[in-house]
A and B are shown apart, each in its own frame.
Chain A
Amino acid sequence: MSKILINNGRIIDPANAADAIGALCIADGKILATNTPIADFTPDQTIDATGQIVCPGFIDLSVRLREPGQTQKATIKSETRAALSAGVTSLCLPPDTKPCIDSPAVVELIKDKAEAANYPQVFSIGALTQRLDGNELSSMLGLKQAGCIAVSNASAPLGNLLILRRAMEYASSHDLLLMYRANEAALSGKGCAHEGAMASLYGLPGIPVAAESIALAQALELAQLTGCRIHISQVSCKQSVIKIQQAKKYGLDVTADVAIHQLHLSENDIVPFDSHYHVIPPFRSDEDRHYLREGLLNGTLDAICSDHQPHDLDAKLGAFPETESGISALETLLPLTLKLAVSHKISLSNALANLTQKPATILGLQTGALTAGFTADVCIFDPELKWEINTQNWQSAGHNTPYWGQTLTGKVTHTLQRGRLLYTF
């Protein structure tokens, strides 16, 4: 395997508390050493990273690839390519593919396709219940052995609390992380927007914050009861942040993430009836957004994910409530994280930790850091480069983002995965 030298970049490695201009040497797919050019290192390739930031590749906790089953929207190939262009070197695929990830065969299929695409590491999240029907437990151990990194029921509801209890007991018996999207379906109903001032004005069916916080409270209670390691996916409101903070304070083994767009947009930013703002959980109030940001700053929330959901044109072409929810968000992950760092005076190292070290810790992965000996998953980006979101600059098959046409700051220029330079801007 080739030897690569990344020179003159500002190396930011949150896990090792490093932030300095230096050189990064890579050989045989591994990080050799940081900040110390090795005298006898003769690289096959040198990347000049002057003026750029060199950091661990990003780990995204929720990326829909739409394959298998919805290849009219996107494919493993198109979305892993988009992930690379966004600096993402590992991603977690929620189980709601078609067929869903409830058997080792589907895990194998995804693994094969991802390997054929030759792009980032795709970690399948196994279905918590068979067919995601919410009633019968899946063969979790088999899924784990096939390579699933966690289990989840995605956004499909569970039959009742007893199923959740049993699922937690079983998952924790096999040391499986349970990823949980908190939603009480009876309360969210057919809602398509935050039950707030905007939905009231426009007559849109609302989703109250309690639909999330009640389900969250129940899950935390059951995690306490069962000792299951639980990760709360994509929290959206103040009440959830408060509950997670309390649970952590009392020693519960819980982590949580937030989708990048939730940290930026609120119900007040929604252009009336523009389906690109249709996302679940919905954009909530300014106060909720404030708590999400605070939760991230004080460590209540452990990671930022893209919650990437690419759609075809037709899925978003209709009256708001009838369109499909979700945002194509991989490629805005870094620029919006940088924007947050600037607006909230967060150090780059702390901001990037939410995309690297912290999600790696949640998943128990030996990555997300530039530690010598670690797999060389590396992202190089230009923090000042302004780029417009348009068909030319966009990799994902899904063009469904409220940021379409806008100019963002910060662009990934190189992505290395397992020591291979796979993307150059």
Chain B
Amino acid sequence: MSRHIQLTEHGKLKHFLTIEGLDKALLTEILVTAESFAGVSEHQVKKVPLLRGKTIVNLFFENSTRTRTTFELAATRLSADVLSMNIATSATSKGESLLDTIHNLEAMHVDMFVVRHAISGAAHFIAQHTAPHISVINAGDGQHAHPTQAMLDMFTIRQYKKQFEGLKIAIVGDILHSRVARSQILALNTLGVSEVRVIAPKTLLPAHVKNMGVIPLYDMAEGLSDVDVVIMLRLQKERMNSAFLPSESEFFRCYGLTEAKLALAKSDAIVMHPGPINRGVEIASSVADGPQSVILQQVSNGIAVRMAIMTMTLGHQGGTS
């Protein structure tokens, strides 16, 4: 169903909810389109008129500064009208249902919802129940998917590594609760990397993680050996309270990325993190700020990639020069 709901009958993007069901050609098209937008931010006038007259509503049922901001910037640079709603503190806390909120906004003639929600499947649900002319972009739903983040990560990997074939990627940390990791795994495998490893204690790995096309490893030395890309995930502090982990310090000792551990990867390996980072918990400052880190480049790329996905879902192909 994911396959069908987000594509038009001609195989074009209608919604962008998950990487699942999207083929290599489409993912590559997103990356190529994003490339054409990458220059826009460096122009003196940082705007192109592609979505002029369109109204985009950022519906954030869960707080996020970074993702919401890059979506706002992406929409603004495409000349769309943008409205950001922090629903976590407004309508639904007054008892309004998710669907009522959506229908009310629909009545204001919007063209796109960018949705973040704490429950897996929320973006699918909204896409299924919204008016047919509206596109929905998933900006993160529960532990399910965060496909725009995954695509900006793919964009960044491609920027530094040129091609996906032959790459070995390690994703480290709380895979179990990570929508980012789920989307990255799907995208990396679709784009044809040679190996995706996930490194974490079993408490932070999904029960059937092997079915997702990855190699689970419990030891950093083994896991980082010879990899081209190291992706660190954010560790939520509340994991200490429910017996997922004994302590932050033990997690850092075992799985925190230090210069010594990074030395096990290929010498030209890049270090990525979807942010926001916990310095000294999953990553040492010297690595986060070090020469192999591309963490801030990921943030910049996020705007171009989201511009690409917004234009593609709203039916405009290609970028601008």
Contact = CB atoms under 8 A, between A and B. Distances in A.
Query: Are A and B interaction partners?
Result: yes
Interface string B105-123: 0000000000001011110
B247 to A, nearest CB: 22
A344 to B, nearest CB: 27
Q: Could you say which interface size class chain B belongs to? A: 20 to 34
Interface stretch (B26-34, B73-81, B201-209, B233-241): B201-209
A206 B198 CA distance: 20
B125 A206 contact: no
A319 B120 contact: yes
A320 B120 contact: yes
Given A273-B125, A319-B125, A204 B120 contact: yes
B84 interface: no
Contacts of B179: 203
B1 interface: yes
A271 interface: yes
Contacts of B125: 273, 318-320
Contact of A203 (B1, B97, B120, B207): B120
Interface string A177-197: 000000000000000000111
A112 interface: no
Contact of A201 (B98, B119, B142, B212): B212
A199 B120 CA distance: 10
Interface string B206-240: 11110110000000000000000000000000000
B1 A271 contact: yes
Interface in A240-276: 271-274
Given A202-B144, A203-B182, A319 B207 contact: no
B142 A203 contact: yes
A202 B145 CA distance: 8
A195 B207 contact: yes
A77 B100 CA distance: 31
B124 A200 contact: no
Contacts of B142: 203, 319, 321
B211 A319 contact: no
A261 B20 CA distance: 27
Contacts of B145: 203
Interface string A304-324: 000000000010011111100
A208 interface: yes
Contacts of A202: 120-121, 144
A197 B211 contact: yes
B295 to A, nearest CB: 24
Given A202-B144, A203-B179, A318-B98, A208 B124 contact: no
Nearest to B185: A201
B130 interface: no
B120 A321 contact: yes
A202 B142 CA distance: 10
B119 A319 contact: yes
Contact of A196 (B20, B117, B141, B208): B208
Contact of A200 (B2, B117, B211): B211
Nearest to B128: A273
A317 B141 contact: no
Interface residues of A, number: 23
Given A196-B207, A271-B1, A203 B124 contact: no
B99 interface: yes
Interface in B169-188: 179, 182
B258 interface: no
Contacts of B317: none
A183 B182 CA distance: 29
Contacts of B190: none
Interface in A302-356: 314, 317-322
Interface string B1-21: 110000000000000000010
Contacts of A203: 120, 141-145, 179, 182
B124 A273 contact: yes
Central interface residue in B121, B144, B209, by most chain A CB within 10 Å: B121
A272 B1 contact: yes
Given A200-B211, A206-B207, A318-B125, A274 B182 contact: no
A200 B120 contact: no
Contacts of A318: 97-99, 125
Contacts of A195: 207-208
B138 to A, nearest CB: 12
A274 B211 contact: no
Contact of A272 (B119, B124, B129): B124
A197 B206 CA distance: 9
Given A203-B143, A203-B182, A272-B1, A197 B208 contact: yes
A320 B121 contact: yes
A321 B121 contact: yes
A200 B121 contact: no
Contacts of A199: 206-208
Interface in B273-308: none
A201 B21 CA distance: 13
A319 B208 contact: no
B124 A319 contact: yes
B167 to A, nearest CB: 22
Contacts of B97: 314, 317-318
A274 B117 contact: no
Interface in A87-119: none
A196 B209 CA distance: 9
B207 A201 contact: no
A320 B123 CA distance: 11
Contact of A274 (B1, B99, B206, B208): B1
Nearest to A322: B119
Interface in A203-226: 203-206, 208
B17 to A, nearest CB: 10
A206 B209 CA distance: 13
A319 B1 contact: no
Contacts of B144: 202-204
Central interface residue in A203, A204, A274, A321, by most chain B CB within 10 Å: A203
B206 A200 contact: yes
A208 B1 CA distance: 25
A272 B2 contact: yes
A321 B117 CA distance: 12
Given A200-B208, A205-B143, 8 more contacts: A199-B207, A200-B209, A200-B212, A203-B145, A205-B120, A318-B97, A320-B120, A320-B121
Interface pairs A-B: 4 shortest CB-CB:
A203-B143, A200-B206, A273-B121, A203-B144
9 contacts: A195-B207, A195-B208, A203-B120, A204-B144, A272-B1, A319-B98, A319-B122, A319-B141, A321-B142
